[in-house]
A and B are shown apart, each in its own frame.
Chain A
Amino acid sequence: MFNQSTLGASSSFGATNTPSSANPMKDFEVTSPPDDSVSSLAFSPATIPQNFLIAGSWDNNVRCWEVEQTGKTIPKSMQTMQGPVLDVCWSDDGTKVFMASCDKMVKCWDLNSNQTMQVAAHDAPVKTCHWVKGPTYSCLMTGSWDKTLKFWDTRSPNPMLTISLPERAYCADVDYPMAVVGTAGRGLIVYQLEGKPQEYKRIESPLKYQHRCIAIFRDKKKSPTGYALGSVEGRVAIQYVNPQNPKDNFTFKCHRSNGAPNGYQDIYAVNDIAFHPVHGTLATVGSDGSFSFWDKDARTKLKPSEAMEQPITRCCFNSNGQIFAYAVSYDWSKGHEFYNPLKKNYIFLRSCYDELKPRSSS
């Protein structure tokens, strides 16, 4: 393509000269992106009418934008932690944002008052934070490299419950009453959250390589029923917690370069997986800088993307499934030699509802 600013696709700030090589999919670019890699992305829940996007970054900050229907993004506010932010999540009422950081804390950011307060602490960086909303209780679940999973009532400085993990927590997801954690050493544990969180099952990993990302999916009745697990070896496993037929569980390869027929195939890590809230189809993003949409029931790929200039580190859907956000920034997959702090980090927004419609007839 010729080097032109993608006026049509960018937000209303026409002055941004984003070369099309940086935005090959011609998606909307979020203004004032973070200055260092994006570690986490989250859209506001359906409980509030507008779409707010939160991004945590290795620059220690958590930024908030309002996303308008036109694709225009308005930076709203920002908070800073004392170490790189590793995960962010929203409370169910859309008024608070939780930020988990390498500074071993999790803070709660009240967006209305723009104040923060610490709500959790670990002995090592906190890698995951998820808000648990159940009928009898709500709490914050945090997973850390200190090999514990803790549940916090945000009003109290002590955890409600601490569960020790076999290894460092690398990824987690929550969809009441189910929670699942992927750990170092290819650990995989499912928890049931009803009444009180308890370990439900330890699962022999379906993947042979390090677990990197995990996302719970629902069945047709909108109840959580399984999860997708991604590894550093360009592979995703779709697993049901209680499969009717062992063949329901399967894995598929993704984020690999084809290469020449007799040449090397480059295999990239799957950095994030997200399920579409309406269609139940999924998106994966990888170190190769591309995203793909998949239909797990039809077992088919719906759409690949062009490759970005840098890896895509995270992705997420907004609450009604209209917007797919993905962050393009360096994920360290090639070590520190390939880190260029001057390289711009991007967050793109794509109107995705139709592209993620399932292929299957049902």
Chain B
Amino acid sequence: MGRKKKKQSKPWCWYCNREFDDEKILIQHQKAKHFKCHICHKKLYTGPGLSIHCMQVHKETIDKVPNSLPNRSNIEIEIYGMEGIPPEDIKEHERQKQGKQIQGGRPGSPSSGEDEPAPKKAKPEGLLGNGPGPGGMMQGMMPPQGPMHHHSMAPMGQFGPSMGHHMMGPMGPPIGPPFMGPGMPMMGPMGNMGGPPQMNMGMNPGSNQPQQNKPLFPSAATAATTTASAPVGADFKPITSTVSTPIGPVKPTFPAYSTTSSSSSQSSTPVTSSSDTSQKVALINTTGASSKIIHPQEDISLEQVRARISKYERQAPVKTVDSSTSTPQPQVEEERRAVMPRYQPRPAMAVAAVPVSVAAIAPPVSSVTIMSPMAGPPIMRHAMHLGPPAAMLGGNMNMMRPPPMGLPPGCT
């Protein structure tokens, strides 16, 4: 690019002398390269900030700014973008730039008193004119400039580090996008969603989405827009009424317990205390060295354990034809039988107490078992006293009502 008088119009990094198209990119570069904590990769804003972070969080001291030139590694100098650069460094940089441009066409002359910008030469190349060229480039240039070679070595020292650590190709414009990547990983996928969610929000004025900057389900937003346009009827338009879009067969996504459900032969009821989760019958390792999980060893939910008890199954009337319908696993039956005998004496009492008479209030309720109060206190408790019907509860309730009473005294 052939601009002669740059005049420091392009921001450059004080730590490594690289130039950037604009200050924002410069700052991103600094955060990613110079102000990034090597331990936790947190990006700070300034050199002193990084030093304080490492001290406080990791208890480590930092003595030089990462990826910086040797004479620019002072961590205590507070640089942010182009701010904070000491004036003499600014001048030096300007001189160097001018020197570079002047030097560009004149191979061989050891630059009139300036520092050695010579190796950059670049004007004919057009590359270095834009900024600190990548090391590769420079080195590539060197050989052709035979006579320059000597001079080129010296300045190498100064620019060495920058060559060494540069990661991407030539200068300004290409630097931008790659920085976007590591600097803002989140923006990538979100950025793509800028379009569709906007559409979506337009269609769903009532939804919560417009309030968020980021849609909760960006990948789904595009899918939703196609179907969200009209109110959905009794079935979602593309879906027929019966089974559809099953996610797929049971995937062994959770290998730890993948053997639980079907087919595993059930040994007797959960045996020893220290059983592994990898056994055929999925068990919870309930007893540890110093702790114990208060839960049945079998790795099924408490409700499932309880539902197997005959007492609860018996309440389900004829509809449950099989005895094994309440749980999907056939092997459960064996256990249940093991458990049942112990339970037999109980149900007589418990079952009597459970079905509630007051449910008769609403005749339409299906299969209500009406029991006349006989077992004393437990039943009396059921006499839900209805009181004056609340506005929202309808008239049926008045039909059969026990005399209004609260909990009768003495009935705990």
In the assembled complex, which residues on chain B have CB atoms less than 8 Å from the CB atom of A125?
303, 307, 326-327
Surface stretch bound by B, among A164-172, A301-309, A350-358:
A164-172
Q: Which residue of A lies closest to B249 (CB)?
A: A164
In the assembled complex, which residues on chain B have CB atoms less than 8 Å from the CB atom of A248?
none
Question: For chain A residues 256-301, which have a beta carbon within 8 Å of chain B?
Answer: 256, 263-269, 287-288
- B interface footprint on A75-91 (CB within 8 Å = 1, 0 otherwise): 11111101110100000
Is A232's CB under 8 angstroms from B384's CB?
Answer: no
In the assembled complex, which residues on chain B have CB atoms less than 8 Å from the CB atom of A164?
246-250
The verdict on B199 contacting chain A, using a C-beta distance below 8 Å, is no
Is A163's CB under 8 angstroms from B246's CB?
Answer: yes
What total of chain A residues lie within 8 Å of the partner, measured CB to CB? 113
In the assembled complex, which residues on chain B have CB atoms less than 8 Å from the CB atom of A208?
256
In the assembled complex, which residues on chain A have CB atoms less than 8 Å from the CB atom of B353?
35, 341
Q: Is the interface of A mostly helix, strand, loop or mixed?
A: loop
Question: For chain B residues 370-395, which have a beta carbon within 8 Å of chain A?
Answer: 378, 381-382, 384-387, 390, 392-394
In the assembled complex, which residues on chain B have CB atoms less than 8 Å from the CB atom of A224?
208, 216
- Residue in contact with B235 in the complex, picked from A77, A161, A163, CB distance below 8 Å: A161
Question: For chain B residues 60-101, which have a beta carbon within 8 Å of chain A?
Answer: none
In the assembled complex, which residues on chain B have CB atoms less than 8 Å from the CB atom of A77?
361-362, 384, 386, 393, 397
Is A332's CB under 8 angstroms from B302's CB?
Answer: yes
Shortest CB distance B337–A (Å): 14
The verdict on A195 contacting chain B, using a C-beta distance below 8 Å, is yes
In the assembled complex, which residues on chain A have CB atoms less than 8 Å from the CB atom of B179?
none
Is B393's CB under 8 angstroms from A112's CB?
Answer: yes
Q: Is the interface of B mostly helix, strand, loop or mixed?
A: loop
In the assembled complex, which residues on chain A have CB atoms less than 8 Å from the CB atom of B239?
160-161, 196
The verdict on B27 contacting chain A, using a C-beta distance below 8 Å, is no
- A interface footprint on B316-347 (CB within 8 Å = 1, 0 otherwise): 11011000011110000000000100110010
Is A112's CB under 8 angstroms from B392's CB?
Answer: yes
Is B319's CB under 8 angstroms from A333's CB?
Answer: no
Shortest CB distance A239–B (Å): 13
Is A184's CB under 8 angstroms from B300's CB?
Answer: yes
Bound CA–CA A138/B234 (angstroms): 9
- Residue in contact with B247 in the complex, picked from A163, A222, A242, CB distance below 8 Å: A163
In the assembled complex, which residues on chain B have CB atoms less than 8 Å from the CB atom of A233?
284, 293
The verdict on B241 contacting chain A, using a C-beta distance below 8 Å, is yes
Is A102's CB under 8 angstroms from B234's CB?
Answer: no
Bound CA–CA A161/B241 (angstroms): 7
In the assembled complex, which residues on chain A have CB atoms less than 8 Å from the CB atom of B368?
80
Is A35's CB under 8 angstroms from B394's CB?
Answer: no
In the assembled complex, which residues on chain A have CB atoms less than 8 Å from the CB atom of B410?
15
- Residue in contact with B359 in the complex, picked from A80, A153, A178, A234, CB distance below 8 Å: A80
In the assembled complex, which residues on chain B have CB atoms less than 8 Å from the CB atom of A242?
214, 216, 218
Is B315's CB under 8 angstroms from A84's CB?
Answer: yes
In the assembled complex, which residues on chain B have CB atoms less than 8 Å from the CB atom of A8?
none
In the assembled complex, which residues on chain B have CB atoms less than 8 Å from the CB atom of A166?
247, 250-251, 253-254
Q: Which residue of B lies closest to A224 (CB)?
A: B216
In the assembled complex, which residues on chain B have CB atoms less than 8 Å from the CB atom of A161?
235-236, 239, 244-245
Is B378's CB under 8 angstroms from A156's CB?
Answer: no
The verdict on B238 contacting chain A, using a C-beta distance below 8 Å, is yes
In the assembled complex, which residues on chain A have CB atoms less than 8 Å from the CB atom of B9?
none
The verdict on A137 contacting chain B, using a C-beta distance below 8 Å, is yes
The verdict on B243 contacting chain A, using a C-beta distance below 8 Å, is yes
Is B243's CB under 8 angstroms from A162's CB?
Answer: yes
In the assembled complex, which residues on chain B have CB atoms less than 8 Å from the CB atom of A113?
394, 396
Q: Which residue of B lies closest to A269 (CB)?
A: B295
The verdict on B309 contacting chain A, using a C-beta distance below 8 Å, is yes
In the assembled complex, which residues on chain B have CB atoms less than 8 Å from the CB atom of A332?
296, 302-303, 305-306
- Residue in contact with B354 in the complex, picked from A36, A103, A156, A344, CB distance below 8 Å: A36
- Residue in contact with B367 in the complex, picked from A82, A194, A209, A334, CB distance below 8 Å: A82
Is B361's CB under 8 angstroms from A114's CB?
Answer: yes
Shortest CB distance B248–A (Å): 7
The verdict on A210 contacting chain B, using a C-beta distance below 8 Å, is yes
The verdict on B205 contacting chain A, using a C-beta distance below 8 Å, is yes
- B interface footprint on A193-230 (CB within 8 Å = 1, 0 otherwise): 01110111010010011101000000001111100000
Shortest CB distance A16–B (Å): 6
Could you tell me which A residues sit within 8 Å of B by CB distance?
13, 15-17, 31-32, 35-36, 39, 48, 50, 58-61, 63, 66, 74-80, 82-84, 86, 95, 102-104, 111-116, 123-125, 127, 134-137, 145-147, 153, 155-156, 158-168, 170, 176-178, 184-187, 192, 194-196, 198-200, 202, 205, 208-210, 212, 221-225, 232-234, 241-242, 244, 256, 263-269, 287-288, 331-336, 341, 344
A-B contact pairs, 18 of them (CB 8 A): A17-B412, A31-B406, A114-B397, A115-B396, A156-B234, A158-B235, A168-B301, A176-B208, A177-B208, A185-B261, A187-B254, A194-B224, A195-B227, A195-B228, A196-B237, A265-B291, A266-B291, A333-B302
Which 4 A-B pairs have CB atoms at the shortest separation, nearest pair first? A135-B206, A195-B224, A192-B217, A195-B227
Could you tell me which B residues sit within 8 Å of A by CB distance?
186, 200, 204-209, 211-212, 214, 216-221, 223-228, 230-232, 234-239, 241-251, 253-254, 256-258, 260-261, 282, 284, 290-296, 299-307, 309, 312-313, 315-317, 319-320, 325-328, 339, 342-343, 346, 349-350, 353-356, 358-359, 361-362, 364-369, 378, 381-382, 384-387, 390, 392-394, 396-397, 406-407, 409-410, 412
